């Protein structure tokens, strides 16, 4: 199962620490391993149709017991894995096996799954049976008919009562016999209405009983299905007994008990990296570095590009990896390290009421949960300790540079936020895209966005749950140059597009998703490691902002060119 490199690797230094899986640059050994895995995948013609729809693969660089102190080629190798299953199977000789093979024919999962499938079939049969559908339709029709008949009878009863009142008023000298006759008529008509009402009630109850017979059975089957599914899921997740480098074992239910969701999501434990680590621990292999890459087309809602490297997903994998990586020395999260600690924050404009800063790429707009983290807000609080502000009016992604509007008072903050809400503030961003855009030179993108709850902070396109997101754009130029990247086996031309964005809404990651998504421009912003490929920075800069000054009423136009 362990693969040794086809090319010499003794000249490559081993990583000092294991990869931080949620934010990383692939180690050269991982790149070499991934290239070999890609070549193997491409050679399997029978998989290509299925893989066209896309799948995540992973590699894990490992060291055997007798290779602890040196980098001899036969002691450093790699493991390969895929997420989920491949070609309807969990077991393929080239890849590590699953932590638990839920597809084994005689296993409890397949047997119970068949039972649940049988329940599903029975539910569909009952819901679509002619007897059930006919009974429902008949009950519906006769309910409407009963309503109409009783309403008509009630109206006639009312008219008869009014006629009797008119007769009494027009003939005040009615005899006792005539008075008694009117009373008998009233009693008879009321009795007839009650009889009619009782007949219809009995008829509808009979029809409803027929319908309820089916409803009760369908509901019973659905309850049984739900209980069986919950029990199956629990039993299944208990089979995923995850190891860590310290030899400790926890099943998925125990791992996820400490999370917000409490219960493991579907597919937990079946991603590539947990499989790779589990195999390494079971076979006394030391994990050195990891990388995961996408093969095939991008999913409809998410953004994945063929051959690109991606971090591990957070919803399914973060709790699992927090356990599995214990005992390994892991790289720190680079996002937690201040990259502008000694750099003075540039103030582009300032008056008594507000200021505009040029936020550097890699600095937070606000500190978030960790209040002591370096951010624009943190810096300005130090600079203006006596001010009622500063108050950040809007935000830029940590990786984005450019103009950020800050209010010094609550009143100014409220006014500027209102301008953002009614879309009277105009913004312009400049970006470099990693590729050539095939769309028109100018255009408009409307793709609704929402958070991917299983992979924060990624956003997805969702017509069902997404909020309106609108971006206008203008392509400025295209360029091509030769680059030398560690992940490329040969030098080759790299094409870029310089573009200007005019966001009409302000959704999280709006420009990044609209650039990268196949239904947008299909070209990620250069350096966008969430939706594209990592570079020395994210090539996105907020270069222009236009707003009405809350105090003076004048239109202010502020510009700061990008340094790329």
Q: Which residues are catalytic?
A: 397
Question: 86 near 101, Cβ under 8 Å?
Answer: no
Distances (CA, A) of 537 to 50, 99, 233, 339: 35, 37, 42, 12
Q: Is 337 left (phi over 0), alpha (psi -120 to 50) or beta?
A: beta
The dihedral through the CA atoms of 506, 508, 512, 513 has a sign that is negative
Report the chain's C-alpha Rg in angstroms: 34
Residues 279 and 1 sit within 8 Å (Cβ to Cβ): yes
Degrees to nearest 5, angle at CA 461 with 507 and 537:
60
The rounded distance, in Å, linking the Cα atoms of 195 and 25 is 83
Instruction: Classify burial at 37, counting beta carbons within 10 Å of its beta carbon; exposed 0-12, middle 13-18, buried 19 or more.
Output: buried
d(C-alpha 41, C-alpha 306), whole Å: 13
Sign of the Cα torsion 395, 398, 404, 406 reads positive
Sorted by sequence, the CB contacts under 8 Å of residue 439 that are 6+ apart come out as 521, 522
Residue 89 DSSP class: B
CA-CA distance, 465 to 28, in Å (whole number)?
A: 40
């Amino acid at each position: 199962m362990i693969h040794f490199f086809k090319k010499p690797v003794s000249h490559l230094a081993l990583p000092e620490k294991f990869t931080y899986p949620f934010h990383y640059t692939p180690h050269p050994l991982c790149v070499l391993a991934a290239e070999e895995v890609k070549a193997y995948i491409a050679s399997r013609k029978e998989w290509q149709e299925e893989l066209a729809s896309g799948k995540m693969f992973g590699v894990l660089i490992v060291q055997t017991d007798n290779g602890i102190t040196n980098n001899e080629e036969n002691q450093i190798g790699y493991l390969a894995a895929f997420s989920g299953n491949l070609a309807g199977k969990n077991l393929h000789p080239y890849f590590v096996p699953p932590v638990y093979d839920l597809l084994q024919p005689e296993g409890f999962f397949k047997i119970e799954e068949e039972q649940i499938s049988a329940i599903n079939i029975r539910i569909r049969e009952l819901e679509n049976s002619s007897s059930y559908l006919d009974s429902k339709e008949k009950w519906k029709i006769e309910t409407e008919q009963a309503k109409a008949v009783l309403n008509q009878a009630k109206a006639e009863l009312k008219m008869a009562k009014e006629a009797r009142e008119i007769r009494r008023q027009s003939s005040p000298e009615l005899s006792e016999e005539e008075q008694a006759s009117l009373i008998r008529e009233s009693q008879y008509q009321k009795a007839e209405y009650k009889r009619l009402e009782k007949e219809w009630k009995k008829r509808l109850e009979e029809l409803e009983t027929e319908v309820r017979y089916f409803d009760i059975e369908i509901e019973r089957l659905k309850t049984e299905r739900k209980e069986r599914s919950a029990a199956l899921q629990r039993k299944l997740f208990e089979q995923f007994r995850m190891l860590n480098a310290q030899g400790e074992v926890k099943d998925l239910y125990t791992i996820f008990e400490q999370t917000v969701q409490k219960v493991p999501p579907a597919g937990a434990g079946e991603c590539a990296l947990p499989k790779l680590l589990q195999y390494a621990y079971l076979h006394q292999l030391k994990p050195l570095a990891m990388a995961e890459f996408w093969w095939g087309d991008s999913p409809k809602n998410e953004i994945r590009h063929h051959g690109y490297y991606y971090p591990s997903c957070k919803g399914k994998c973060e709790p699992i990896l927090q356990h599995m990586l214990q005992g390994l020395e892991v790289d720190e999260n680079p996002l937690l390290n201040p990259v502008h600690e000694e750099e003075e924050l540039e103030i582009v404009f300032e008056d008594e009421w507000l200021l505009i800063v040029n936020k550097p790429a890699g600095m937070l707009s606000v500190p978030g949960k960790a209040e002591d983290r370096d951010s624009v807000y943190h810096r300005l609080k130090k600079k203006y300790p006596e001010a009622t502000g500063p108050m950040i009016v809007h935000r830029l992604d940590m990786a984005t540079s450019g103009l950020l509007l800050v209010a010094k008072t609550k009143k100014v903050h409220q006014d500027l936020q209102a301008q953002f809400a009614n879309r009277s503030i105009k913004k312009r961003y400049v970006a470099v895209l990693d590729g050539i855009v095939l769309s028109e030179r100018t255009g408009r993108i409307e793709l609704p966005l929402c958070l991917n709850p299983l992979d924060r902070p990624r956003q997805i396109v969702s017509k069902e749950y997404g909020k309106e997101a609108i971006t206008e754009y203008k392509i400025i130029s295209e360029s091509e140059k030769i680059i030398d990247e560690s992940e490329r086996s040969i030098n080759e031309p790299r094409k870029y597009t310089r573009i200007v964005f005019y966001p009409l809404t302000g959704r999280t990651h709006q420009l990044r998703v609209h650039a990268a998504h196949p239904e947008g421009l299909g070209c990620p912003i250069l350096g966008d490691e969430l939706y594209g490929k990592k570079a020395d920075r994210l090539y996105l800069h907020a270069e222009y902002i236009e707003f009405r000054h809350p105090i003076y009423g004048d239109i202010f136009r502020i510009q700061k060119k990008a340094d790329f």
